[in-house]
Structure 1
Amino acid sequence: MAKNLLKGELKRKGVTYAQLAEKLATMDIHETERNLNNKISRGGFSAAFLLQCLAAIGSRQLQLD
């Protein structure tokens, strides 16, 4: 569910993995585009990482259905 939530927010905001990597770097979180792709595709990430990504792309509200 977390994987789909994050992918959906990225798509909704029009943010690519490369752009996400740049935004995370400004928060002193260093991930490559390829690493982000693998991590998100597998869904193997922590809740903290999910929150960091959402903060980086400016998501302030989530709708969980």
Structure 2
Amino acid sequence: MHVIVSSAYALFMMTSYAVVNGNRIGYDDKSHHTGPTMKANETEWETKAKLLLKGELARRGVTYAQLVEKLAAIGVVDSEPNIRNKISRGKFTAVFLLQCLTAIGSDTVRL
């Protein structure tokens, strides 16, 4: 990752805050986490995304095989095992989520 900041601001960041074990970086009066804490939060979001999509599929009674057909109808070609794996891991893009929701006719979701 590349970050461009003014030299004066960079000096402020370097003299005011420290990196501790490579896991926490403090700047802008906020703590920004990397490492294990970030991974735990990421896993929680993946679980929420997975449950949201699975819930919408279940509400509409759509199987993975039917989802493959519905996605193909809107121009998204993917295999059933690949879709099943993406959803079960919860590791998919926002684009994939929107494609699935559009394909199954879901225009409103509750978070």
TM-score of the aligned structures, taking structure 1 as reference length:
0.94
Match runs of 1:5-16 below 5 Å: 5-16=52-63
**Which of 38, 42, 55 is the aligned partner of 2:85?**
38
CA distances 1:6-34 after superposition (whole Å, capped 9, x unpaired): 00000000000000000000111111111
List 4+ stretches of structure 1 deviating above 2 A: none
Structure with more of its chain in strand, by fraction: 2
Number of aligned residue pairs: give it. 64
Give 5+ residue unaligned stretches, structure 2: 1-47
Indicate the structure with greater helix content.
1
The structure with higher relative contact order (CA 8 Å, sep 6+) is 1
Structure 1: give runs of 5+ residues left out of the alignment: none
The Cα RMSD (Å) is 0.6
Q: Structure 2 length as normaliser, TM-score? A: 0.56
Q: Which structure has the larger Rg? A: 2
The 2-side partners of 1:36 and 1:5 are apart by: 15
